[in-house]
Chains A and B, each alone.
Chain A
């Protein structure tokens, strides 16, 4: 783990970070708020002693009570991966500024995150579902979405369509029972 990077980040973004800079193995982790996200990312990307030019990953996380968006960055200045966690998105209406201005390549990753979590990236020019069909009802990777084998706990759109609402001709009895249960 890179102590210098930790010192640099703490001095540079003093007061903007939610919580301390965590380090484990070869990863450095900072928590930021959605308000400061774009500014911090611009600084990380542009400034000569940081130069995090490569966006390795963009992931959404549903912690159960709130939403997070995680960015993994790489820079030639440090041997560490930098993990930036945009924290504190409400689950009912998660909104976060988009990074497509900085990395246009983040567009599809943000689309994927929207598709899986319903997180709305403001400023993304093409924020539609990318994996699931356009008329899909729910967001699969949320924590209140259960797999088809315990479909009874799942909200309306969640279950696989073919099992959910269809009473087949010549149905075997347990199939009928399952259908009735999910109704």
Chain B
């Protein structure tokens, strides 16, 4: 994760997005006015102190395609193994295939794991979308459903687990604790959201989310897989993550 090296080659649009603000002078008063004079609201849209905070036009709005065009993103369009001989247009088929068999990894961290299991059982059956065979080994899994609070002690193993999964792989953050820290945000041993240590494709809030919620998130993930048409930009990890993770 060489953020610094990539920062040098940022296009202006991206640089405008990530450059730290000089100072937050949000609302600029419209000039001086005498005491008692009627307040005249100037007929101009106010602009934020941070340029690029409110995208106007196409200058700071970054489309995924242009992102792929820039050298910011790793050129890596998920064609591995034997299917590499298939030319580009066949990616639609490949992505339909991947979308229809997303094998989750059989790993639960905490409370949400129970609801994850409940989503796979008879009442609400994840198998219908081909998501059922929970693989025990990360080598054969496609989706990592992080279900439950992530502690600092577990962060290393989880990151390693993520690294052990073969591409293409996706991560689903299930529950408030994994999205943002949730009810243990204040604690001394938890991580405020797993996107500090690993990329996340789909966030499913709720403490814990219902099984239907998980299934909805997984279907959203399938939609994502289908719409990206097999072009996977490298996930940008949240700013304040230690570089040695």
Contacts and interface: CB of A to CB of B under 8 A. Distances in A.
A/B contact in complex, CB under 8 angstroms: yes
Interface of A: 131-133, 140, 145, 147-149, 158-163, 166, 168-173, 175-176
Given A133-B153, A160-B152, A169 B186 contact: no
A67 B20 CA distance: 47
Contact of A132 (B4, B189, B191): B189
Contacts of B192: 162
A158 B188 contact: yes
Contacts of B239: 168-172, 175
Size band of the interface chain B makes with A:
20 to 34
Interface string B13-54: 000001011000000000000000000000000000000000
Contacts of A171: 20, 239-240
Nearest to B23: A173
A168 B241 contact: yes
Nearest to A173: B20
B191 A162 contact: yes
Q: Chain B: interface secondary structure?
A: loop
B20 A172 contact: yes
Contacts of B241: 162, 168
B21 A173 contact: yes
B3 to A, nearest CB: 4
A161 B240 contact: no
B144 to A, nearest CB: 20
A80 B7 CA distance: 67
Nearest to A158: B188
| Highest count of chain A CB atoms <10 Å: which of B4, B18, B189 | B189
Contacts of B122: none
B188 A162 contact: no
A173 B3 CA distance: 17
Contact of A147 (B20, B187, B243): B187
B240 A162 contact: yes
Contacts of A172: 20, 239
